[in-house]
Amino acid sequence: MIGYVTLGTNDFAKAAAYYDALLAELGGKRFMDMETFIAWGNNPAAPMLSIIKPFNGEAASSGNGTMVALAADSPATVDRVYKKAIDLGSKDEGAAGPRGDSGFYAGYFRDVDGNKLCVFCMSK
């Protein structure tokens, strides 16, 4: 049902480099690349993540309570992607680890524009 999620950015080049490096950890690559919009994914027919310079020319801002969750295949991948995000300058919003006893394993962080992301897997 989800085609893609778009996050606004105030520094397009910095955000592009950040997501090139971060999403490569999940096998993501650019499928759409324009002057003000880039979309990454694993398959152009599957959901993608994108960045954009806001169309109205106003500053981009992150939403309180808004989050994008990136699916991973294992806790080891969650750990690797979370570490990569922190190495890329992300702000920690909750270290990678198990959450409850449902098998949900996740790490939370904010990107270079303050957008909140989660990388997760179901380990049970």
Work out how many domains the chain is built from and give that number. Answer: 1
For residue 49, the domain's CATH number is 3.10.180.10
Give dist(CA 60, CA 50) in Å, integer: 14
Task: State the pLDDT confidence band at 84, using cuts at 50, 70 and 90.
Answer: very high
Q: What is the DSSP letter of 79?
A: H
10-37 confidence digits (pLDDT tens): 999 999 999 999 999 999 999 999 999 9
* pTM attached to this predicted model: 0.89
Q: What is the Cα–Cα distance from 65 to 92, expressed in whole angstroms?
A: 16
Whether the pLDDT of residue 38 is over 80: the answer is yes
pLDDT of residue 1: 72
Range of 37's domain? 4-55+62-122
Distance CA 89, CA 124 (A): 31
CA distance 36 to 108: 26
